[in-house]
A and B are shown apart, each in its own frame.
Chain A
Amino acid sequence: MTRAAGKRPRDDTPDAHDFPTRPYDLVKEFVIALAVITALTLVLAVAFGSPDRKAITLKAWAGAAPNDVVATATAELAGTSGSAAYGPPYDSLSDGQKIGPLPLEKWGGVRIPIDSANDLVIRPLMSGPADPKLTAALATWRGASPAQRTAWAGAYADALAAAPDSDPARVKAGDYGPTPVLAARFLALARSGGLESILVGRSAFYPTDQTRPMLLLSDGAYLEDQARAEHLGGDQWGMMNESGNYPGQPWMWLYTFWYQVKPFSTSGNADALVWGLMMVLTLALLLVPVIPGLRSLPRHLGVHKLIWRDVPRSEVVRRR
């Protein structure tokens, strides 16, 4: 094929196989690399080990922070917890987050339906050990209107927040309906160690899906308090880290970075915005070879001169 003189095609990189060659033992290189990586892995594993902090059970939560369990159960009943009115995939009480006009969360659909008040508190109480006081409280709760339930639980949540240490025993008297009894019995159920198996429901014998126990635990303050003490909070570069002084997932630094800066750090739509941004950046990384300007950037950065500085001029001719 002939080309007009002086006009260079867009990519005229010559075929690598037309260059002079030299002996190169790929298999030996791989075996040495394997030996070095294996040795390094052994040294690092012996020297530093790996973290394995035990999972927090609901029983342990109830033992360590009983007031938090009561406050969380009350918030579930009042519909003010993190998982109440969360939106998809748990319920349709809100549309969830959006990327601009795109309601991707809503489009995902309600595929893991959870009614936080009923599924996380009332049904477990109905499945647990019964006593006349609890039975009466459950009957009163179920016989009341949704507005009445919300009013009772909301008032009790406010009273708990106002009490010293959020201690249920020091809550001022008020019209809380059956909420105090339900919350206290919920604490007792958690303390007994039977709450997890009730929450995982029909798969209790072979439990793998921990969605309900995890939503309940995440709605409380205890899990986050423990995580913050390990420097795992959302504003502490959160989930790219792990317990103790271990490297965690540093390759997720860019994703975690956006949560540390405005407008993402103060936006109620932060998750969708960060994901949208990361999708764009990921697409850009994938398509670097076809993005004008970006694909030519390495030539101008000059790092390639360092990489190929030892190539003899006799073996590679530079085009002028």
Chain B
Amino acid sequence: MTATEPRAEQRPPVAPSWTSRTRDRVRRTVPEGQWLPDRQPAYVRSWIYVFGVATLAAFVVVLATGFILAIEGVQWWHESSLGHFVNSLHLWSVELFFACMVVHLWGKFFMAAWRGKRALTWMTGVVCFLGSIGTAFTGYLSQTNFDSQWISGQAKDGLNAVGIGAYFNVLDPGQMLLWHIVLLPSVVGVLVVLHLLLVRRHGVVPPFDAVPPEPADAPPSTGEVTR
């Protein structure tokens, strides 16, 4: 700001801009204090809630180990013991990622976590799950070893049978590698962000038939409430 520029409260009102509209939209979607709250509803006390965060943590490990493999290239892990170890880390982080995600998904199903206008949160989670299956599958096809030979030879028939194989050629490891490390992770990454935004926007689904206690009955709550 220059010395001659008027203070904000002295400026004349201006027409809404794309920037201000975007900022307002973001603010309406996830109000300040809600995107990273330091308090949660009192009913959030079960080990099942840990698996959502654990899935996210496993996703970070999957990305980190995949990043190292990508830096060194497709042959590295066949030829170097360090590369093979990093591949082992990548494999087991993927197994843990899916284990956590499946428990998270079942937990959310048993809670009917789509209640209270949370249908889109459920749907983005399901699409993340499907996208992750596709990402892992293309990883197996990109390994350039016996397993990728056999899996691709088997998978082509299913994909060809519904017309997908004409565009998504599992017998081309070059194409599969790009799907594995660029296209699908990008889609899954964007969906994960969207999923988290929706979780933060709507908060954690309350138990069945639960209602907030009347103010007189409510226990004292210290600190700022999350909204």
List chain A positions with a Cβ less than 8 A from chain B.
11, 13-27, 29-30, 33-34, 36-38, 40-42, 44-46, 48-56, 86-89, 96-97, 99, 104-112, 208-211, 214-215, 217-218, 223, 226-227, 232, 234, 238-239, 242-243, 246-247, 249-252, 269, 271-272, 274-276, 282, 285-290, 295-296, 298-299, 301, 303-304, 307-308, 310-312, 314-319
Contacts and interface: CB of A to CB of B under 8 A. Distances in A.
B114 interface: yes
B30 interface: no
Contacts of B148: 55
A223 B226 contact: no
The 3 closest A-B pairs by CB, nearest first: A208-B174, A108-B163, A16-B203
A22 B87 contact: no
Given A16-B202, A52-B77, A239-B154, A30 B115 contact: no
B206 interface: yes
A54 to B, nearest CB: 6
A146 B207 CA distance: 72
Given A56-B149, A214-B152, A314-B219, A105 B162 contact: yes
Nearest to A103: B163
Contact of B211 (A14, A37, A88, A215): A14
Contact of A286 (B36, B127, B154): B127
Contact of B58 (A37, A223, A307): A37
Contacts of B40: 21-22, 24, 26
Nearest to B102: A251
B45 A41 contact: no
B111 A16 contact: no
B192 interface: no
Contact of B50 (A29, A52, A274): A29
Contacts of A96: 160-161
B146 A55 contact: yes
B107 to A, nearest CB: 7
Given A13-B116, A19-B206, A50-B91, 14 more contacts: A14-B206, A21-B221, A37-B61, A46-B88, A48-B92, A50-B87, A52-B145, A104-B162, A107-B163, A214-B152, A243-B147, A269-B161, A301-B110, A314-B213
A209 to B, nearest CB: 4
Interface residues of B, number: 109
A223 B148 CA distance: 12
B34 to A, nearest CB: 8
Contact of B171 (A22, A44, A210): A210
Interface string B56-76: 111011000100000000000
A218 B153 contact: yes
Contacts of B18: none
**Most interface-central of B102, B163, B217 (chain A CB within 10 A):** B163
Contact of A316 (B87, B100, B107, B206): B206
B179 interface: no
B225 to A, nearest CB: 6
A289 B149 CA distance: 39
B130 to A, nearest CB: 7
19 contacts: A11-B117, A20-B221, A29-B53, A106-B163, A107-B163, A108-B164, A108-B166, A210-B171, A226-B146, A239-B154, A243-B147, A271-B157, A289-B114, A289-B118, A298-B111, A298-B112, A307-B48, A314-B219, A316-B43
Given A44-B92, A208-B175, A21 B136 contact: no
Contact of A18 (B39, B165, B212, B217): B212
